[in-house]
Amino acid sequence: MRQAEIKRKTQETDIELAVNLDQQEPVAIETGVGFFDHMLTLFARHSRISLTVKAEGDLWVDSHHTVEDVGIVLGQALRQALGDKAGINRYGTSFVPMDETLGMASLDLSGRSYLVFEADFDNPKLGNFDTELVEEFFQALAFNLQMNLHLKILHGKNSHHKAESLFKATGRALREAITINPEIHGVNSTKGLL
């Protein structure tokens, strides 16, 4: 079973997170940051994974530590659940329209961490979520999952739509990458290791 559960406690956050790559339920997100909960729920639904997150953080400071640390733990859990990555497609790409916005995510579960992020947000806050944290979350996710992740807003105006298109596109690209392909024997690499 491709699943993992991680608990991580620091002086800034206390996080319990579980993923199952082969089930779609349950999805239950509680971080104390409403917009972020919405984005993680979209990410889980579009990647068709079970994801439960219970996070308590120092929100009296701001939501930075909570968002970044959830990205760290989610990346670690996904990496653990993938195991040796035998049989997976490895790559995934998705374009997601959200009204006037078009977002793109392309990723490689290569074992090498890299983020390319091309998105600007005119609105600095969405609820108690700073829009600059979209990049912080994906940076933490990419580095802890050890994947190449390229994110881009091709066009758009609304900050909510831009963030949502990136979370959805990343979820859909991840689903493509983690899907087991019966035509792939071992790992999808000439190195024999990912």
Q: Report pLDDT digits (tens) over 92-127.
A: 999 999 999 999 999 999 999 999 999 999 999 999
Confirm whether pTM is higher than 0.95: yes
Query: Which DSSP string corresponds to 124-181?
Result: SEETTEETTHHHHHHHHHHHHHT-EEEEEEEE---HHHHHHHHHHHHHHHHHHHHSB-
How many percent of the chain have pLDDT more than 90? Answer: 94
For range 131-138, the mean pLDDT = 98
How are the residues of the chain apportioned to helix, strand and coil, as percentages rounded to the nearest 5? 35, 30, 35
The pLDDT assigned to 191 comes to 77
Task: Tell me the pLDDT band of 193, cut-offs 50, 70 and 90.
Answer: confident
178 phi, psi to nearest 5 deg: -85, -5
The domain locations on the chain are 1-176
Q: How big is the chain by its Cα radius of gyration, in Å?
A: 16
User: Cβ(112)–Cβ(41) under 8 Å?
Assistant: no
The helix or strand, by DSSP H or E, that contains position 76, with its residue range, turns out to be: helix 64-82
Q: What tokens does 78 get?
A: 């996904």
Q: Report pLDDT digits (tens) over 143-176.
A: 999 999 999 999 999 999 999 999 999 999 999 9
CATH topology of domain 1-176: Ribosomal Protein S5; domain 2 (3.30.230)
pLDDT at 188 over 90: no
The pLDDT assigned to 79 comes to 98
